[in-house]
Structure 1
Amino acid sequence: SPGAPETEVKAVIVGDGGCGKTSLLVAFARGDFPKVYVPTVFEKYTASLQVSGKPVKIHLWDTAGQEDYDRLRPLSYSDANVVLVCFDVTDRASFDNILTK
């Protein structure tokens, strides 16, 4: 209905560095694809969309995939409604790391 409050959703994306997390989020939130790879420490993107005709604001939390940040990554999980797990389909280790990181 018009004027209905926007539902807010927190989505955290995790996976190894270089597997495409940031590219996926930027393509979704901004409709653009990054031309250059720049490792992320932490970024947050916001997008508004309609779900079953109702407004939803989705906060997309992009986490660092590099091992140096393994201890910081869990700090972004608090209050997450969705966790999106990504891996590089050409790198078996990237898939195996899903269970350990």
Structure 2
Amino acid sequence: MLPEQSYIPTVFENYVTNVNFDGKLVELALWDTAGQEEYDRLRPLSYPESDVILVVFSVDFPTSLQNVQDKWWPEVAHFCEGVPTILVATKIDLRRDEGTKRMLSAQGQVPVASEQGIAVAREIGAKYIECSAKLGQNVQEVFALALKESMKGKWGKMVKQRRCVVT
């Protein structure tokens, strides 16, 4: 039996690496910001100079998609006007997981459908992609899309600077 996994909330974590993109070496800096309310005043300090924003929700937690509309998008729109945004659905493998479906059903909910995520992405003007880290499905594509979008300026032209900051 595997040990029970516990959730340890993120405060601010970052990861920097060099990646090859379109034949060029690009520095990719990922910032994972805290979602807890007590960090609401600190989080905006991580937004300046961001080249792309990934707003992430989990398909097994429908409230997380609602939070995109109620909390995350208004904050991103305020502090990151004009920055390309990608809405990312995670844990898509759990859409078919019977345990997840039972748990959500007991709460009067169902896993978030692709169509719901697409609708929210359209509403907020974001690109949309889904992934499953557990299955390794589309994870690389999330970062490839982030790199591609980060290289676009506000008007959709490729910028000369080869740096990508993902918040």
Q: Common fold, TM-score beyond 0.5?
A: yes
Query: In proportion to residue count, which structure has more helix?
Result: 2
State the superposition RMSD in angstroms: 1.6
* Corresponding residue number in structure 2 for 1:46: 16
Q: State the distance in 2 between where 1:95 and 1:88 align.
A: 7
Q: State the distance in 2 between where 1:91 and 1:75 align.
A: 27
Question: Following superposition, which runs of at least 4 residues in structure 1 exceed 2 angstroms of deviation?
Answer: 35-38
Please tell me the residue identity of whatever aligns with 1:70: D
* Corresponding residue number in structure 1 for 2:48: 78
Q: Which runs of 5+ in 2 are unaligned?
A: 72-167
Larger radius of gyration: 2
User: What is the TM-score of this pair, normalised by structure 1?
Assistant: 0.59
Query: In proportion to residue count, which structure has more strand?
Result: 1
Q: State the distance in 1 between where 2:11 and 2:69 align.
A: 21
Higher relative contact order (CA 8 A, sep 6+): 1
Q: Which runs of 5+ in 1 are unaligned?
A: 1-34
Please tell me the residue identity of whatever aligns with 1:76: S
Q: Percent of aligned positions with the same letter in both sequences?
A: 52
